[in-house]
Amino acid sequence: MGALELLWFALIIVFAFVGIVRGYPKELGVTTSILVALLVLTEWGGKILLGLDAQLGGLLGGSFLAGPYSNLIQAAFYLGLFIAMVFISYHGETLAFRGDPPPGPLGVAMNAINGAVNGYLISGTIWYYLDRFDYPIRFLGLFSPPLTNLAQALLPFLPLPILEPYLLLFVVFLILVRVFR
């Protein structure tokens, strides 16, 4: 497999095309849902995981967070929850803004930009959690460290390191805009 950052860029471009097809009013709804998902994961993800560990640890005869597969389990938890929320946001109407994008190149550009932003948020979050838990999927042969220089330079620009302090602000703002448009 090639460099991780290439896959990241490719996914952003794919999502930009998805945005062109779906239109940015729907994509803005997905952006809101993704930001809500990120807020849930950053604010309560760790607490939920610890709660699960405390409950299931008794049944399984030991803490799974202290075991050899701790990183894999944590990554699976965060990514599973995040991908499920993203799937729900793309599946239905959810928080989609009603209406059509403006016609012509301006509308297409706005669709593509919003789609690319969603791609950046989704693939960037997946990369962030893989990096945080030391790429536990490497046993599948999908990725072999070390990261390239470019990938290491890009890590601080992933969505969560940048947006984490402002997630609540963005979520509230988008919901307000959705309600009072």
Between 76 and 154, CB nearer to other proteins: 154
Q: How many residues bind other proteins (CB under 8 A)?
A: 25
- What's the CA gap between 54 and 22, in Å, rounded? 43
By CB under 8 A, which span of 43-51, 75-83, 143-151, 156-164 interacts with other proteins?
A: 156-164
User: Whose structure tokens read 């390191």?
Assistant: 161
Distance, in Å, from the CA atom of 108 to the CA atom of 166, rounded to the nearest integer, reads 28
Q: Is 98 among the residues that bind other proteins (CB under 8 A)?
A: yes
- Do residues 94 and 33 make contact, with C-beta atoms less than 8 angstroms apart? yes
Tokens at 160, concatenated: 């969560």
38-to-44, 70, 106, 127, 176 alpha-carbon distances in Å = 10, 21, 29, 13, 18
Q: Which stretch binds other proteins (CB under 8 A): 52-60, 63-71, 141-149, 151-159?
A: 151-159
Q: How far is the CB of 98 from other proteins (least distance, A)?
A: 6
Interface characters, 10-29, with other proteins (x: CB under 8 A): --------------xx--x-
In the bound state with other proteins, the residue whose beta carbon lies nearer, of 39 and 75, is 39
Contact between 150 and other proteins (CB under 8 A)? Answer: no
Which contacts qualify for 136-145: CB closer than 8 Å, 24 or more apart? 136/69, 136/71, 136/72, 136/75, 136/76, 137/72, 137/75, 141/1, 142/1, 143/1, 143/4, 144/1
- Which residue, 47 or 181, has its beta carbon nearer to other proteins? 181
105 belongs to the binding site for other proteins (CB under 8 A)? no
161-180 binders of other proteins (CB under 8 A): 161-163, 165-166, 169, 173-174, 177
Q: How many CB atoms within 10 Å of residue 171?
A: 19
The CB-of-6 to other proteins minimum distance in angstroms stands at: 21
Q: How far is the CB of 102 from other proteins (least distance, A)?
A: 5
The Cα–Cα gap between 146 and 143 comes to 9
Where does this chain bind other proteins (CB under 8 A)? 24-25, 28, 97-102, 106, 110, 114, 153, 156-157, 161-163, 165-166, 169, 173-174, 177, 181
